[in-house]
Structure 1
Amino acid sequence: MTKKAVAVLCVFAVIAALFTGCKSKVPEQHELVLQTTAQVTEDTDNFKISYSQSDSLNPFEATTLNNQTADDLVYEPLFRIDESFEAVPEIASSYTYEDAHTLSVTIVSGLKFSDGTPLTAKNVVSSFYNAQSSPRWKNSLTPIYSATATSDTAVKFKLSYANPYAHQLLTFYVAKNSSKSKYPLGSGKYKFLEENGKLYAEKNNEYKEKFNPRFTKIQLVNVPSAESINNALNIGNISYAYRDETNETVARLKCNKKQVNLNNMVFLGLRTTMGITSNADIRRAISLAIDRGTLAKSAYQGYAKAATSPFNPMSKIGRETAIFTDSADTAAAKQAIAKSGYKASQLTLKIVTNQNENKIALAKLAAQQLEAVGFKVTVKSYSQKVFNDALKYSNYDIYVAETKIPNDMRLSSFFDKSGKTHYGMKTDSDTAKLYKAYINNGGELGKFILSFSNEIPFVPVVYRKGVICYSKAMHGDMQGYYGNFFANIDDWYYN
């Protein structure tokens, strides 16, 4: 081989070695950068949330939305309800219905509270009984009357009636020494800590999963009133808050916003026992004349979803039982009026509401939609006391109201005499009987829905939404939702 050829080969060998060397070093440099970034981004100062010092942070005593949101950092439930209203196991690992009235839940083995002590089935049972008498869960847990630990990792719940969705009610927090401590211990991502006269939520090193948040310490700032929370968000005194107010107020907040699905139904209650609305054709005409999509966009500025079913349209049962459309069907509404036998001069309606601005806006828009098919409508907004009296003494044809549907999707409050939303409704109607058969005796859901669409005992209008507000200076994909407000907090950061 000539000297020239040898020289050329040497040059190629050097070039090849350089490229090979570069390729082998790039992953090492990249990995080093990521590790360094993870080490230097720990943040103990920037992230702040509000709480009410005058209210308890004990999860079974807290009454303010402020403190209930803060508790979500520290405590975990057996199940969380996701944005499609399906139960997602948290402390629970599995569940089974042994029979129509017995629900057994197995919890994850090896769980610990933030002090390192084991979380067992006995803690679940004691927390259940505390939740039964708590402001937050006592109403939703009424279909479950007892809980028993059958082993360290198994709990048996006894049900008041056959309820295939009862596991979705097990969203109460599990805590240790809940009746003895100002800040009961939890098993969540953080733990409460008092330090130098300030209150913090500090990273829980006993958390069951790998958890490496930037925010290792979160300051809780005493901001007691809703108006003060909004001001604190606007001037940057707090970084994050869940808001469940009128949408006019939310619109004025200077923050990033994420809509949150709620199981709060806004509906038109109808006086089915007397007057013009005792006629089923008139009730159908009212439902057909209502443009639910417009009411969601206008009365609630888009912070609502049209109720195409008595059940939440975001849920599986809601999608399977859709009987209404987003838009009005004025032609069908006029046909229903004609079928009713009422004359044009008799088509008068009185709508009443309380002084919530969204409900007033909804009532006025609904009145316009009803007038478009031939009704003559008056709208009255009352103080809460006068509104309650109007319901009690049937001084209305239609009323605008809102109710929180429990996570098992039961509508019993509309069809039971003891229910809070039964005003104006016949609790012995065919629809009421079919619903009770469905709930208590395994009756067919389809029969209830068909009867509901014919009778229209009330008019579901929209399912309202809440909003998570967070600082514009904060980064990361916000995945929080109602009941899991800090879902992916380990991905959030400030520059």
Structure 2
Amino acid sequence: MIVLAIDAPPETLDRRMALGLNAMRIAQLVTPGLTRIDERGEAVPDLAESFEAEGARKWIFHLRPGLAFSDGTPLSAEDVVATFRSVLDPAVGSPHRSAYGYVESVEAPDPATVVFRLSRPFGAMPVDGTLGILPARLAGPEHRDELRLRPIGAGPFVVSRWDGADDLRLAPNPRYFGGAPVVSLEVRTVRDETTRILELRKGRVDVLLGSLSAPLLPALRGEPRLQVKVGPGAGVSYLMFNMTDPTVGRREVREAIALALDREALARFKLKGAAQVADTLFREDHWAYDAGVGRRSRDLGRAKALLDEAGFREPADGGPRLTLTLKLSTDRFRRSLALAMASQLAEAGIRLELQPLEWGTFLGDVKRGNFQVASLKWPAVVDPDLLRLAYHSASIPSEASAWGGGNRMRYRNAELDALLDRGREEVDPLERRAAYAAAQRILARDLPAIPLLHEDAVGVIAKTVEGVEVDPQGSLRSLARARRIVR
């Protein structure tokens, strides 16, 4: 038995219903999908052996031979069809129904082949193939409650015990196509970070993956019983601006802020080196990253000159040129990072007042445009179609859309919209990459948001455990290869 500590319990183990990161990551161990996301953010085969596009609106997936669910029943294309149809069924009530609304039909011409026909071209369709596959006989709405606690899947683990809250046990699945794990898992919810660290030091927890702050790493590296693993992370922290605000709506002000920030220092001192400076939403090793964007290094002289151009000259009394309000969550580390940024901006004459808010209030304000500057983080940037959610004018929240939509900056750019539409519709990877490269250059010029840091994926693991690795997207897949050793 290996014990994994997480910061919050999963709300469900049914991938169709999951919204929380812990729920989705644990569900993947039990119910994998046709595809998975690799280290470069690309969709690669999982239950599928291969897949291809046929034209712009048709995707074909070929299943691995000999697949079986953990209960011994064969997994066929009909199970895939039933799973995807269930997500689209209003009676099932999946929160992901609208995300799959582009699927016009899904059929199984034979037991090993699944054909998706789309209502519109969608180049990122294989990313949505990560949906966990369920047996067709259980995919209907009448089984929703039982699947929340005990889903049947074809993954490396099966649920052996779960009370719906903190007590979760996973046992090896002897029918897993990749080979059964050699250890069982206990997934223990420990909400407080300090307590998680204490449990790890006492040997009551074996693995922490991602649920700890970077400033704790130096002390943990000195622990003789523990190993610290750090790797590229797919998340990105950023500052975003309300483009309707008369001050930060001006590009000169936004660029001055970007030039006044010392992101290298933030990575070095606040993240203890466990982060990389972000030039775009994508890390340099992501397939869609555009190296032509370049990097804005700190230049206080240029920042002050831009503020002069914008009419924010240095006052005779030595006070700030302008005062801005930054809204953020009450997370202790995020506040510490914001204080460091405020100190850096002060050197350019920009006073940054922090307004920490409880998460629900903060998110509500951001959705409604009730902010000037806000500090947020995308936990995992996978496909570049995310840029459409974040920056397309059609994604601006409104009362009519119940304040849905990810373009909370209220940013509008017709040229960018066209590129993001093109990137979404292209199925040729090279054409998609070209569209998103051009989009990244526009965003780097206009700066509706300033990418700050790609925070590394971090894991702390007992030295008595081997095989566990950190994953850029936070996947727990490596736990299937874990084993206990005697030292």
The TM-score by the shorter chain falls in which range?
Answer: 0.7 to 0.9
Q: 1:332 to 1:432 in 2, by over 3 A?
A: farther
Deviations 1:344-377 (A, max 9, x none): 3453322222212232222222222223233333
| In 2, Cα distance between equivalents of 1:273 and 1:66 | 35
- 1:129-208 matches, within 5 Å, as 129-130=85-86, 141=100, 144=103, 146-159=105-118, 161-176=120-135, 177=138, 179=143, 181=147, 182-193=149-160, 200-208=169-177
SS of 1:187's partner is coil
Deviation at 1:111, TM superposition (A): 1.2
* Larger radius of gyration between Structure 1 and Structure 2: 1
Match of 2:396 among 417, 423, 428: 417
Deviations 1:181-231 (A, max 9, x none): 542322222333359xx97533323222455x542xx15365464556555
1:378 pairs with 2:378 = no
1:275 pairs with 2:241 = no
Q: 1:249 to 1:115 in 2, by over 3 A?
A: same
CA contact (8 A) 1:69 1:242 kept: no
Aligned to 1:42: none
SS of 1:273's partner is coil
Deviations 1:258-312 (A, max 9, x none): 3354433321111222322122222222222222222233343444332112334
Deviation at 1:315, TM superposition (A): 0.5
| In 1, Cα distance between equivalents of 2:102 and 2:381 | 11
Aligned to 2:332: 357
| In 1, Cα distance between equivalents of 2:370 and 2:414 | 22
Aligned to 2:420: 435
Aligned to 1:47: 2
| In 2, Cα distance between equivalents of 1:324 and 1:142 | 38
More divergent stretch after superposition (176-185 vs 307-316): 176-185
Deviations 1:437-462 (A, max 9, x none): 54358784344333223221211112
Match of 1:458 among 434, 449, 470: 449
- The two structures have a TM-score, normalised by structure 2, of 0.77
| In 1, Cα distance between equivalents of 2:25 and 2:411 | 38
Q: 1:362 to 1:493 in 2, by over 3 A?
A: same
1:114 pairs with 2:70 = yes
1:220 pairs with 2:186 = yes
CA contact (8 A) 2:290 2:437 kept: no
More divergent stretch after superposition (305-314 vs 438-447): 438-447
Deviation at 1:126, TM superposition (A): 2.4
More divergent stretch after superposition (251-260 vs 465-474): 251-260
CA contact (8 A) 2:389 2:407 kept: yes
- 1:220-239 matches, within 5 Å, as 220=186, 223=189, 225=191, 230-239=197-206
Deviations 1:116-165 (A, max 9, x none): 32111121222334556787856765655653323212222344543323
Aligned to 2:51: 95
Aligned to 2:33: 77
Tell me the amino acid that sits aligned with residue 174 of structure 1.
I
Q: 1:269 to 1:55 in 2, by over 3 A?
A: closer
CA contact (8 A) 1:267 1:462 kept: yes
Deviations 1:41-85 (A, max 9, x none): xxxxx4234588885434444566555444343332222212221
Q: Percent identity?
A: 21
Q: 1:249 to 1:283 in 2, by over 3 A?
A: same
CA RMSD between the two structures: 3.6
| In 2, Cα distance between equivalents of 1:245 and 1:343 | 42
Q: 1:481 to 1:368 in 2, by over 3 A?
A: closer
More divergent stretch after superposition (398-407 vs 356-365): 398-407
| In 1, Cα distance between equivalents of 2:5 and 2:232 | 22
CA contact (8 A) 2:2 2:185 kept: yes
More divergent stretch after superposition (480-489 vs 130-139): 130-139
- The two structures have a TM-score, normalised by structure 1, of 0.76
| In 1, Cα distance between equivalents of 2:467 and 2:368 | 52
Aligned to 1:240: 207
| In 2, Cα distance between equivalents of 1:54 and 1:452 | 35
Q: 1:48 to 1:91 in 2, by over 3 A?
A: same
Q: Which runs of 5+ in 1 are unaligned?
A: 1-45
| In 1, Cα distance between equivalents of 2:206 and 2:9 | 18
Match of 1:86 among 30, 35, 42: 42
| In 2, Cα distance between equivalents of 1:249 and 1:294 | 17
Aligned to 1:39: none
Tell me the amino acid that sits aligned with residue 168 of structure 1.
V
SS of 1:111's partner is coil
Q: 1:158 to 1:224 in 2, by over 3 A?
A: farther
Aligned to 2:318: none
Q: 1:480 to 1:322 in 2, by over 3 A?
A: same
CA contact (8 A) 2:123 2:423 kept: no
| In 1, Cα distance between equivalents of 2:12 and 2:78 | 24
| In 2, Cα distance between equivalents of 1:427 and 1:151 | 46
Q: 1:491 to 1:424 in 2, by over 3 A?
A: closer
- 1:32-43 matches, within 5 Å, as none
Q: 1:305 to 1:170 in 2, by over 3 A?
A: farther
Aligned to 1:298: 269
SS of 1:344's partner is coil
| In 1, Cα distance between equivalents of 2:411 and 2:20 | 35
Tell me the amino acid that sits aligned with residue 156 of structure 1.
V
Tell me the amino acid that sits aligned with residue 401 of structure 1.
L
SS of 1:379's partner is strand
Aligned to 1:336: 306
| In 1, Cα distance between equivalents of 2:418 and 2:286 | 24
